[in-house]
Amino acid sequence: MNPALAHTPPHPWLLALQAGLDDLESALLQGDAEAVRLASACVQATLQQAPRTSEFTQAGSTLHAGMQRAAQRFGQLRHAVLRASAQSQRAVHSLLPQQAPATYGRQPGQVSATGGAGRAYLSA
């Protein structure tokens, strides 16, 4: 890292983005769906206000490195959400297993092609 960049204060937009990611992480850890929705909307709004591309490439700018760190952090949060979702799905499937389809007989919502004859045969 360039020593001159180490003493440069972070760009205000990066500070806002980091604060939004902090709020999003906190909401995810608390499992608060409404707070996650609000924090996600805040991060989206912050991203919409991103500086011009030329500011990211200027010499002495901390934007490029800061954006890379923010992107990495956002990726980590995304993976955490995916893991939590998979765990939730496994828990739901263990508590409410899906019924195996019947070998014989009609499936729910399926119209019988044989009319009443099929029911008579199955009940015999």
Residues 6+ away with beta carbon under 8 Å from 9? 62
pTM of the model: 0.64
For 36-58, write each residue's pLDDT tens digit: 999 999 999 999 998 888 887 77
- Mean pLDDT value across residues 70-77: 93
- Mean pLDDT value across residues 101-124: 56
91 vs 104, higher pLDDT:
91
- 4 has a pLDDT exceeding 60: no
Domain boundaries, the chain: 10-95
